[in-house]
Structure formats: C-alpha cells, structure tokens
Chain A
Amino acid sequence: MIVKKYDEDVSLLENKKINGKYFKLAFHSPKLSRNIKPGQFLHVRVNQGQDPYLRRPFSYFRVSPGRAEILYEVLGYGTAILSKKKKGDVLRVMGPLGNAFTENLGKKKRILVAGGVGVPPLIFLAEKYPTEYLLIGTKSKIELMPKSELRKIRAKILCSTEDGSYGTEGRVTLLLEKILMNQHPGEFFIQTCGPKKMMKVVATIAAKYGVKGEASWDESMACGVGACLGCMVRTRSGLKRACADGPVFKFEDLEL
C-alpha cells in the first residue's frame, strides 16, 4: 500500500497557551488533515534558518477537515521559537509519519493511559474511536487539559497527579491497576503514550493481568523517515526505527 506523504508549507490558524504548560498550535492543511491517524506524527521545521537546524517531531492532537492541531510544551530553543509564531505565519511540515494506534479493537474495550506529553494523541484516539477509559497522569494540576479540550470524549476520564493537586494522588499506573484488578482484564486492550518509565510500568502491569496493548515509543529523531537510524527501539525482532517502524509498538514486541 502506498502511503501518501506530504512536505508542505502550512499557514498557522492559532497558537496559544491552553494551560500552565502546553501550547496548542493549529494549522491549515487539507491534505494532511485527510490522511492523519492517531499515533502518527509530523515533522516540523520551526524556522527557515540554520539554527535550530533539525525538524521537531510532534504527535497529532486533533484533526478536523482542513485543520490539524498539535500540543507542545516549551522545552528548549526550538519550541520557544514555535511558541512565538502567530496566526498567518508559515511553517514547513512533513507528514503523516510513522504508524498509528490500532483503531478497531473488535470486542475489546479500550483503555488509554496518557502521561505528560503523551496526552495529545490519546485524546485524538478517544475522540475518534469507542473508548472505555482515558487515564491521564500529570505531575500537577497546572498540566491538566482544560475541560473544553475534553468535552468531545465520551470515555470515563480519570486523572491522577503526582503531587495530589487534582484527582487521585500518585501515578496514573495505579489507576490502571485498580481497573484491571476489579474488572475482567481480558476484556480490555491498553494503548499508552507518555514517558518511557511510565509506559514500561504500564506494559508490566498489562503482562501481569494478561492484557494486550500498544505503546507509542519516542526516541530523539533526526530525519523522521527511517533514514538516519537515530531513533532505534529494541524489539523482540531486533532493532526497529521509532520513526518509520513505529512509533506505535505492541507491548509483546518491545524489549523493555
């Protein structure tokens, strides 16, 4: 199957801070918005100069006809530049890249486990496909998504914060284990995105309860298309490229 790939200049529709931590950036792209699936990512060039030089990968947050959105945190030089972009500014974007989360789970019920920067693609998934639970773990209340960003989700949303400032105090994996312990774990399928430490715990819990699932695995990337071999992931069938063979991998394939 030939997957359409695009590399185009897009015009920004909005770029604003939506909570204490994240910015939401929306851009106009009929081509990309038609072809993106939850879990895939796009590769953004934040300026046309040579510093910073590399593109930055971002997972898609939400797509509507003609429009695609990403959520990002200002973590360094590149994202600081991105945060200053205004409506009408032009960005160079490549996508859709990578594989996607499994959309149709058959009779299994979907549990999404999101941590920190891993929240956007899972909200996208929960908005598009039937989902039982969306578990969101953050360090504190300031990272929580505004209610307006969650209103389209019909799944049960449970939140945890590490400092106890909102929802259950502690790690999001506690919420997951509680659900699996009290219900029939065999009915579920887990999809997770977030810090690697968290995803490792999620996969371990899944294995303990015999639940299958997928994780979106992130490594530092340069090319985004599978050429540079910078973002390798250890799997049961050898080293795989996070950008081209992933970023979504089955729990049972990952060598944690």
Chain B
Amino acid sequence: MKVDLTTRIKSLVLKNPITVASGTFGTTDEYAGYVDPKKLGAIITKTITVKPRAGNPMPRICETSAGMLNAIGLQNKGLEDFTEHKIPYFKKLGVPLIVSIAGESAEEFGKLAKTFDGMRDVVKALEVNLSCPNVETGGVNFMRKQERILNAVKAVRDQTDLLAFAKISPELGDVLEIAGKVIGQGIDGISLINTLRGMAVDLCTRSSRIAKDFGGLSGPAIKPVALRYVYQVKKEFRVPVIASGGISNTHDALEFLIVGADLLAIGTANFVEPQATLHILKGIEEFCRKEKIRCLEELRGSYRPAGEKGEGCNR
C-alpha cells in the first residue's frame, strides 16, 4: 500500500513532512555523507543574519539529562556569504528551502526578507527567528517587548509575500497571545518551540558548564512541552505549524502529527543519529501502512481531547 505523505502548506507542496530544525543540519553539505538530503520534505537553514556573527565563546555546549544546552549565539557568515556561497548549493540540491532569518532591528528583518523574496526559485518560505535565547539583540531578551516582535513581523510582511513562519518560544511570554498577534500581523504560520533556557553548574568551578550562564535546552527533555504548545496553537488558530523540540524517533513524530503539526523539524536528534530524519520518515510510512492510513491527512490533527475520547474509542 502506498502512503501519501504529501504535505501542503498553503501554496507550498512538499513530498513529506520531514525537515530539519534550524542550526542542526550544518550550513550546506555537512551531513551529505550520512543522509541523502533529497529525501527530506524541506530544509530549514541555520539562522542567517545581515552581518556576520562570530557567536559565543567556548564551551558552547554541554550535555544534560536527555538533552543538551547550547549557547552557539547564531554564528554565521552573514547574508552576503549565504546568498553568494550557500544558495547555489541549495539551488542545485533542489529541496524546498526554508530560510531562517534573524535581525537586530525591524529594518534588518525587512532587508533579509526582501533579499530572499528575490530568490523564489530556491527559497520557498521564511522562518522568522524571534526567539534565539543566546544573543543579546534580536534574541528572546530583546524580543520580550512585544512591539519589537510585531515590528519585525510587519517588516518581513511589508517586503515579501513568501510563506512566512514566526518562530516563537515560551521564553517570549504567553505563546498563544504572541501567536495570535503575529498571525494578526499577517504571518502565515508558527514555528514552535525553539530551545528553552536552562542552566548547568560545574561543581569544581561552581560556575556554568558553558561560557554563558544560560543556554538553550534541546532534545528529548523538552518534547512534552513542545507537543503541548503545538497542540494548543494548532487548536486555537488552525494555521500551519512547524513543530520542533526533541523529536527523536517515529513515536515522537507521530505524536506531533496527531496533534496537528504540519512540518516536523528534527533537531538535536541529527547530532545523535545523522539518519534520524530518514528513519523517522520510514517509521511514519510503516505506521500508516499498519494502520491502513493512505494519506497523512487522515492522521494529522486526529487527536481526541482527553474528555472527548468517547466510549467507542478502542485505541
């Protein structure tokens, strides 16, 4: 039985719902030796900023229970390098590209949006990163002022009608409230949940195990939180949602699909199993075959709220 995994997000048609979370799949072909990127539904790039960013000092990462903290700090070579050296790679690859962008001001968000609007042959959507926990300007601290979020989104919307997702996190404040506002500002969809700020202390130095006091927590540890927010946002607004936050295996991926996620962005799991995306893709297909689900849409959003399971539910 052939399972139709086609995922439609407004005008964008993807062959499956599997993508990679921003910053976890390298800048171009780092994983090409382990995984065929052509099999992915889409690729979300590492966040691109207008100017190059050196990122934070070392150590930038440490492992925690069922996850990791990172304080990379949006290291990237900037917009010009990306359009000149990375876009040609993605153009040749031919996988729908979702570019993650972050600005230090509304003007920068606008500039990034305008630039990628001119590359529609490669760039199919934008993920507007409003929630990086590891940078001073443009990160969660900065964006906690809601008007900055709304200005950033407006600046993007003024420059392009490319499909645009706002990447928000509970670190910004009330997720549902912010989601409602950015949708009101014309954003097409929401990307949830970025990393959650956490801490780890070294007993010898009595200081942080990474070079910053806080880092972004990712991995299986945050999955239940991500799942809850994806469910809530999907239920409340019925807009396209990119889900990320600890999706590590087929079981996790199916849970996110059941609560309604449109795209599943695999993140930290790539570091552990470079083929995690493809294993999950295969696992979803196998599950559908077993459950006689011909089309992913039969599964997506099929969650039965706890109080509404009903007596006839045998699952």
In this complex, what residue of A is CB-closest to B267? A228
Q: Are B25 and A220 in contact (CB under 8 A)?
A: no
Q: Could you tell me if A220 and B61 are in contact, using CB atoms closer than 8 angstroms?
A: yes
Chain B 235-246 per-residue mask, 1 if CB under 8 angstroms from chain A, else 0: 000000000000
| CB of A130 within 8 Å of the partner chain | no
A227 touches B63 (CB 8 A): no
Contact call A230/B272, Cβ cutoff below 8 A? no
Interface hub of A3, A50, A54 (most chain B Cβ within 10 A): A50
Kindly identify which residue among B46, B54, B55, B219 contacts A53, using a CB–CB cutoff of 8 Å: B219
**Which residues 53-97 of B sit at the A interface, judged by CB distance below 8 A?**
54-55, 58-63, 65-68, 70, 72, 75
The answer to whether B270 touches A231, judged by C-beta atoms less than 8 angstroms apart, is: no
Known: A51-B65, A53-B66. A227 touches B270 (CB 8 A): yes
Q: Once the chains bind, are A225 and B54 in contact (CB under 8 Å)?
A: no
Q: Choose one: A5, A45, A230; the contact of B34 (CB below 8 Å).
A: A5
- Chain A positions within 8 Å of B70 at CB level: 222, 228, 230
Q: Could you mark each residue 15-39 of chain B with 1 if its beta carbon is under 8 Å from any beta carbon of chain A, else 0?
A: 0000000011111001101100000
Does A94 count as interface, using CB distance less than 8 angstroms?
A: yes
Q: Give the complex CA separation of A7 and B279 in angstroms.
A: 14
Q: CA of A223 to CA of B30 in the docked complex: distance in angstroms?
A: 10
Residue A52 is within 8 A (CB to CB) of chain B in the complex: yes
Chain A binding surface, main DSSP class: loop
In this assembly, does A229 line the interface, its C-beta being within 8 Å of a C-beta of chain B? yes
Task: Tell me if A222 and B58 are in contact (CB < 8 A).
Answer: no
Q: Are A220 and B66 CB-contacts (below 8 A) given A228-B24, A232-B75, A244-B30? A: no
Given A5-B33, A53-B68, A231:B58 Cβ within 8 A = yes
Interface string of A82-93 (1 = CB under 8 A from B): 000000000010
- The chain A residue with its CB closest to the CB of B269 is A53
| Interface bits A220-242 vs B (CB < 8 Å: 1, else 0) | 11111111111111000001000
Contacts of B30 in A (CB 8 A): 223, 225-227, 244
List B contacts of A252 (CB < 8 A): none
Interface centre among A51, A230, A232, A244 (most CB of B within 10 A): A230
User: Chain A 161-187 against B: per-residue CB contact (8 Å), 1 yes, 0 no?
Assistant: 000000000000000000000000000
Within the assembled complex, what's the spacing in Å between the Cα atoms of A224 and B61?
A: 12
Most buried by A among B63, B68, B219, B220: B63
Q: Cβ of B46: which chain A residues have Cβ within 8 Å of it? A: 229
B277 CB-CB contact with A under 8 Å: no
**Nearest Cβ in chain B — how far from A228, in angstroms?**
6
> Chain B's nearest CB lies how many Å from the CB of A243?
10
- B residues 31-51 with Cβ under 8 Å of A? 31, 33-34, 46
Contacts of A55 in B (CB 8 A): 271-272
User: Interface residues, chain B, CB within 8 Å of chain A?
Assistant: 23-27, 30-31, 33-34, 46, 54-55, 58-63, 65-68, 70, 72, 75, 219-220, 248, 268, 270-275
Additional pairs, 5, CB under 8 Å, beyond known A225-B31, A228-B70: A5-B33, A7-B34, A219-B58, A223-B30, A228-B23
7 tightest CB-CB pairs across the interface, nearest first? A227-B26, A230-B61, A5-B33, A223-B271, A50-B220, A227-B30, A51-B66
